[in-house]
Structure 1
Amino acid sequence: MSRRRLAPATSAPWRSSLTVSLESEAAAAVPGEQHRLWPVLLTGVVGLGLLVLAILTAVAVGAISVPLGDVAGIVANKLLPGSVTKTWTAAREAIVWDIRFPRALLAALVGAGLAVTGAVLQSVTRNPLADPHLLGISSGAAFGAILALLHTGLFLGLLTVPLLAFAGALVATAIVLGVVKVARAGSPDRLVLAGVAVSFIIMALANILIFLADPKATHTVVFWMLGGLGLAQWNHLIYPLAVLVPCGLWLWFKAGALNAVTLGDETASTLGVPVTRLRLSVFVAGALVTGVCVAFSGIIGFVGLMMPHLVRLIAGGDNARVIPLSALAGALFLILADICARVIMAPEDMPIGIVTGLVGGVFFIWLMARER
């Protein structure tokens, strides 16, 4: 029986080499033409090991260093009470378990969420530069969170901030897509330009909200806008976890449809993919994930741009591989970035958004130079 080959969509003058590369990688993901799985599986296993090591390092490193042996003992004793003889102080236990461990886990969740969102946005828009930060989604989420923190109050409890952040992200996404549709500018480059323009407008409005707020409350919000994980607590982790796990699994189950959309709307429709419904669903899921990430960590840019690109260099363009590996890479990267942010200016915490911005800017330049 002959194999059915998915042909790439007809190229257009505006398509960059990055876009063509994205489509050709997805075309290689059809049945019978997949690369051998063992390198990808090996990468995943090694990545999981590095992630565990990074979490332990993040918990051990800081203004007060804690030996890795004590870290492992404290964690083991919390999970299995009495399993390890207690040789550490109560203060050290509080630092490890109540402050640093939830912070490391929040970094992993936020990094994974932003990376997965970037990966699926790049596929569904056929735009290799798509990213929650560049498309204005993060700015919309930040606007909603600032509105909740400074003006509306927590009228729904702790859920107020992520819900308004999600609403802001959704509105920003709708505005960007509306601008592209009205301007009839369907190219990937124009989509990014529309996202950047909308992002600037939304952040200007957010700055007005900050200017009109109580000066005593604005300092914390301004620091939060730069990206930070210092407010992480155990009871906060349930919210990003409750959003990221179902959304991530749903997006992973849609990997085949995302591969088809990457090849073009006509090809995807021929294969039975409801393109419009899929694209709308992915944007809503991306806004939800971005909203909850921004609500608990502030604006952290470039994770969704960098991680999917690096993963595709290793695993190819099949979203069944790109999505989980991007989650793993994003979690690992943001934990390492948080370690750098805490060590560089110790005992002060540098906003993690500064670290990701520096790395992301260099990566962006490298990406442009590579595709010349």
Structure 2
Amino acid sequence: MSEAPNLTKTTDKPRINDATLDPLPHIRHRKTRVTLVFAGALAALVILAIVSAVLGQVPTTAAEVLGSIAHKIGLDLGPLPAHPAGEVTLWQVRFPRVALAILVGASLATAGALLQGVFANPLAEPGVIGVSAGAAVGAGTVIVIGGAFVAAWSIAAAAFLAGLITTTLVYVLSRSGGRTEVVTLILTGVAINAFAGGLIAFLLFVASPAARDQIVFWQLGSLNGATWPSVAIVASLASIGIMAAVAIAPRLDLLSLGDSAARHLGIDVERLRRQVIVMVAVLTAAGVAFSGIILFVGLIVPHLVRMLVGPGHRVLVPLSAIVGAVVLLGADVAARTLVHNADLPLGMLTSLIGGPFFFWLLRRARARAGGWG
């Protein structure tokens, strides 16, 4: 008796698991990664803030720092500083410096993320539009005219206004036919920066020795003169700029599709670029007005954040602000501890660290892309 034929058709093709087509696990994984990075950045910021508040000639412990903060808000938790000058030192010297480092770092990093997003250029950073060089010219002019002992507020105000004026000049000169081209803007910024460098050299030539030293020190960057009034001014400008940057972030994602695609999706590209340039000018000018020129934070931090969480600006912009604060606060801690009884210029330190780090980023990006061509 013959066996009934097997009518079941078999195939050697592998079956596709429907789970591999489900995007939800990937989305959940990305959300978890973003949450962890945010939590890690915030934890690092708190730890560095405490460490920065502990450092100094007046001996203070982390418990005393936390106890002083708790006592200030009406809670009787932890010990107060044992040193007679500990409380005054914390609230008049160290806490303003910590707050200014956080605000300046967040402002510069947010400005860099905005510029790199709106111009789709990984080399864009606040200095490209001339705001830092203009601020240096403004500060140097006031120092030369007023002498070495001119009030710090006058220097900060001149730096802020000159930074805004220089940015406006770069934007106006780069417009052609009602549009602002990225290449033209960057090249105009390079030309303005070169001209500003010549003006700074002239100011150094005509300045008195004391004024010359002050101009050089201001250009190197420092948080040594932080006060609560200066923190209040930077905080108000930085808060407005960062909140506006977070609000505008979704449109930057659409702009990454290209100008034509963004216009079809309802984005006024030229208006968006004007808004970003204004935000960057305010954020950068507010940051450098009281701290001097601090390089590479606005260039490096957005790259670092992009490596951690991807290019989406909804996450990139706010996280850049937090990581920028961490980076500058960490650099300030290093500036105060690398050399005993010395406060290294902050801009010098960020350049020494940021330069090689950015070169490593370039090499890494080039290796992954298989070259630039």
Q: TM-score range by the shorter chain?
A: 0.7 to 0.9
When structure 1 is superposed on structure 2, of 66-75 and 361-370 the one drifting more is 66-75
For the pair 1:330 / 2:307, whether they are aligned, the reply is no
For the pair 1:315 / 2:302, whether they are aligned, the reply is no
1:126-145 equivalences under 5 Å are 126-145=120-139
Once the two structures are TM-superposed, the CA of residue 200 in structure 1 deviates from its matched residue by 2.6
Matched residue type, 2:307: L
Once the two structures are TM-superposed, the CA of residue 179 in structure 1 deviates from its matched residue by 5.6
Distance (Å, rounded) in 2 between the aligned partners of 1:185 and 1:248: 23
Show the counterpart of 2:279: 285
Show the counterpart of 2:60: 66
Show the counterpart of 2:202: 208
Distance (Å, rounded) in 2 between the aligned partners of 1:34 and 1:142: 46
When structure 1 is superposed on structure 2, of 36-45 and 277-286 the one drifting more is 36-45
Contact 2:140 2:203 in 1 (8 A): yes
Once the two structures are TM-superposed, the CA of residue 222 in structure 1 deviates from its matched residue by 1.9
Cα shift readout 1:190-224 (whole Å, capped 9, x = no counterpart): 75454344223212212323433443333233212
Show the counterpart of 1:49: 43
Cα shift readout 1:121-147 (whole Å, capped 9, x = no counterpart): 001111111111344321112222333
When structure 1 is superposed on structure 2, of 359-368 and 278-287 the one drifting more is 359-368
In angstroms, what is the RMSD of aligned CA positions?
Answer: 2.7
Contact 1:136 1:172 in 2 (8 A): yes
Show the counterpart of 2:111: 117
Which runs of 5 or more structure 2 residues have no equivalent in the other structure?
A: 1-25, 367-373
Distance (Å, rounded) in 2 between the aligned partners of 1:253 and 1:91: 43
Distance (Å, rounded) in 2 between the aligned partners of 1:229 and 1:222: 15
Secondary structure of residue in 1 paired with 2:126 = coil
Contact 1:62 1:346 in 2 (8 A): no
Distance (Å, rounded) in 2 between the aligned partners of 1:227 and 1:216: 17
Contact 1:62 1:343 in 2 (8 A): no
1:222-241 equivalences under 5 Å are 222-241=216-235
Distance (Å, rounded) in 1 between the aligned partners of 2:55 and 2:80: 20
Contact 1:227 1:353 in 2 (8 A): yes
Show the counterpart of 2:6: none
TM-score by length of 1: 0.82
Show the counterpart of 1:257: 251
When structure 1 is superposed on structure 2, of 83-92 and 121-130 the one drifting more is 83-92
Which of the two has higher C-alpha Rg? 2
Distance (Å, rounded) in 2 between the aligned partners of 1:180 and 1:368: 27
Matched residue type, 1:334: L
Contact 1:141 1:290 in 2 (8 A): no
* Number of positions where the alignment pairs a residue of Structure 1 with one of Structure 2: 336
Once the two structures are TM-superposed, the CA of residue 101 in structure 1 deviates from its matched residue by 1.4
Once the two structures are TM-superposed, the CA of residue 177 in structure 1 deviates from its matched residue by 4.2
Show the counterpart of 1:12: none
Once the two structures are TM-superposed, the CA of residue 246 in structure 1 deviates from its matched residue by 1.1
Distance (Å, rounded) in 1 between the aligned partners of 2:279 and 2:273: 10
Which runs of 5 or more structure 1 residues have no equivalent in the other structure?
A: 1-31
* Residues 207 and 318 of structure 1: CA distance in aligned 2, closer, same or farther (over 3 Å): same
Once the two structures are TM-superposed, the CA of residue 311 in structure 1 deviates from its matched residue by 0.7
Report sequence identity in percent.
38
* Residues 206 and 123 of structure 1: CA distance in aligned 2, closer, same or farther (over 3 Å): same
Secondary structure of residue in 2 paired with 1:339 = helix
* Residues 272 and 364 of structure 1: CA distance in aligned 2, closer, same or farther (over 3 Å): same
| Aligned pair partner of 1:220 in 214, 217, 233 | 214
* Residues 309 and 85 of structure 1: CA distance in aligned 2, closer, same or farther (over 3 Å): closer
Once the two structures are TM-superposed, the CA of residue 345 in structure 1 deviates from its matched residue by 1.9
* Residues 263 and 302 of structure 1: CA distance in aligned 2, closer, same or farther (over 3 Å): same
| Aligned pair partner of 2:34 in 32, 40, 48 | 40
For the pair 1:267 / 2:266, whether they are aligned, the reply is no
Contact 1:166 1:287 in 2 (8 A): no
TM-score by length of 2: 0.82
Cα shift readout 1:282-327 (whole Å, capped 9, x = no counterpart): 1011111111111110000010111111111111111110111000
| Aligned pair partner of 1:106 in 100, 104, 115 | 100
Contact 1:74 1:97 in 2 (8 A): no
For the pair 1:94 / 2:80, whether they are aligned, the reply is no
Matched residue type, 1:70: E
When structure 1 is superposed on structure 2, of 240-249 and 257-266 the one drifting more is 257-266
| Aligned pair partner of 2:72 in 63, 67, 78 | 78
Matched residue type, 2:280: G
Once the two structures are TM-superposed, the CA of residue 99 in structure 1 deviates from its matched residue by 1.0
* Residues 175 and 35 of structure 1: CA distance in aligned 2, closer, same or farther (over 3 Å): farther
Matched residue type, 1:368: L
Show the counterpart of 1:6: none
* Residues 317 and 98 of structure 1: CA distance in aligned 2, closer, same or farther (over 3 Å): same
Show the counterpart of 2:22: none
Cα shift readout 1:6-53 (whole Å, capped 9, x = no counterpart): xxxxxxxxxxxxxxxxxxxxxxxxxx9897322212211221111011
